[in-house]
Amino acid sequence: MSALSDPTRRRWLAWAALATVFLLVNLHRLSTAVLSDRLTDAFGTTAAQLGTLHASFFLIYAVVQIPTGVIADRFGPRYVGSIGGLVLSLGAVGFAISGSYLAAFASRALIGLGSGVIFVSILRFCANWYRADEFATMTGLTGSVAGLGAILATTPLAVAVDALGWRATLAGLAAVGFVAAGAVFVVARQSPAAAGLEPIAGVPEQPSVTLAETAGHLRTLARDPDQWLLSAVFFAGNGAILTLIGLWGVPYLAIVYGLDVTTASSFTLLGSIGLLVGPPAIGWVSDRLERRVLPMTAGVGLLTIAFSVIPVFGRPPLVIIAVSYLACGVLFGAAMLSLSTVKDRYPPAASGVATATVNTAGFVGATVLPTLMGLVLDAYRTGETVGGTVAYTRYGYRVAFGILAGTVAVAFCCSCWLLVRDRDATSSPSSREGSSAR
């Protein structure tokens, strides 16, 4: 039996094709840290402008999440995923040839538009092709692909940019994206039945979803306090980690410690390795324990401590920074459990729009936090440059990174509140249906 005709093998091929596009998504969205000095030189940006350029990806990414959930529920990952890969690659071509800040901003927003449909498409694919007790593991494994993309966006990207130039490097990534988008179109389908295959044991066939039903799910989500708490967790976790690894983690090291960009990127590489390892490991533990909120709360509490190192100490020894960056990447897996939690609490037909709602909050966080940090840093600008990077005071970085630590601390409080709500619901005879994974 060929891999395409065996449903258990076919699902891994399709997931791999979607994951390849998602790898590129993460490489693009986290590339700004390594490119920051070149973009500042090419477009003459301030910290706020650089933060806004970085955030343009996440702004459009956040906007398309709920529409993507609706479309993914209705049409499936084949069309949504392949078109997304095509659009993000076109955006990468535009960014590579941009001659002005405005053109770069628009091109990066186009990359965000194409990228914004990929993760929810993968989650919808996993809901249709994997058992419920495999979902958090697959979500974590998909998160590890984000970690691999983040690894490639650090030292490997810095080396490629040094060798080829940043424009040629982005053009090469666009070429890979076009190929990956074609692979998604060839192998991905809505479900085993849609591919003409036998059902997979334990994986129920997902019903088609009408727009009226989707509207009903959205109304329910809007009124659901648990959804808002989970969204707050992912807002903070996703926003903070992407701000650290994707933008300000490298300039901080370059200015405060005097490291060159390639050396500084090796520290964000550690954070990316954490992203590679942490989400699948924490997801696997959650699946085995059949618990979601408790490991999420514990992990987000530790994540708060990890993000507090820079604002508390300012310039700790580099080994402490290395441990902090690594821990932030690993513990982000706890914040990702918010996606599995909301998926568990809604019927299968709503899995796309439910996860998209929480995912939206995560990328609103990735839009707001880097720009806010840039505005704060501009208030502490020294007027000097170090290795092409605009210099800010050490205290300015402490204040800016304090924003990340404070935001994650609020998320920890939200997860504690959700834990209390779940305990109250479990002890009540009227506990609501669909919240079995506590």
Q: Are residues 389 and 249 in the same domain?
A: yes
* pLDDT mean across residues, the chain: 86
**pLDDT per residue over 371-383, tens digit each?**
888 888 888 877 6
Residue 12 has pLDDT above 80, yes or no: yes
Q: Which residues contact 370 (CB under 8 A, 6 or more apart)?
A: 51, 54, 55, 58, 242, 243, 246, 247, 248
Joined together, the tokens standing for residue 29 give 């969205």
Q: Are residues 162 and 272 in the same domain?
A: no
CA distance 190 to 169: 33
Specify the DSSP element, H or E, that contains 247: none
- pLDDT at position 114 is 93
Backbone angles phi, psi at 392, to 5 degrees: -130, 160
Of 191, 223, 253, which marks where a domain is finished?
191
Residue range of the domain that includes 360: 211-421
Residue 178: inside a domain? yes
Which pLDDT band holds residue 66 (cuts at 50, 70, 90)? confident
CA distance 55 to 52: 5
- pLDDT at position 140 is 79
CA distance 352 to 354: 6
Residue 198: inside a domain? no
Which pLDDT band holds residue 391 (cuts at 50, 70, 90)? confident
Q: Are residues 23 and 134 in the same domain?
A: yes
CATH number at residue 37: 1.20.1250.20
Q: Are residues 168 and 240 in the same domain?
A: no
**pLDDT per residue over 67-113, tens digit each?**
877 787 777 788 999 999 999 999 999 999 998 999 999 999 999 99
Residue 289 has pLDDT above 80, yes or no: yes
Q: Are residues 244 and 180 in the same domain?
A: no
Q: Are residues 136 and 73 in the same domain?
A: yes
Question: Comparing 171 with 389, which gets the higher pLDDT?
Answer: 171
Q: Are residues 281 and 404 in the same domain?
A: yes
**What mean pLDDT do residues 169-191 have?**
93
Number of domains forming the structure of the chain: 2
Q: Are residues 359 and 225 in the same domain?
A: yes
Read off the DSSP letter of residue 385: E
CA distance 46 to 40: 7
Question: Comparing 432 with 331, which gets the higher pLDDT?
Answer: 331
Q: Are residues 228 and 167 in the same domain?
A: no
Q: By mean pLDDT, which of 108-122, 296-310, 386-400 is the weakest?
A: 386-400
Q: Are residues 125 and 219 in the same domain?
A: no
Reduce the DSSP state of residue 352 to 3 states and report it.
Answer: helix
Q: Are residues 183 and 254 in the same domain?
A: no
Residue 423 has pLDDT above 70, yes or no: yes
| Predicted structure pTM score | 0.74
**What mean pLDDT do residues 248-274 have?**
87
Q: Buried b vs exposed e over 115-140: b needs ≥16 C-beta within 10 Å?
A: bbbbbbbbbbbbbbbbbbebbbbbbb
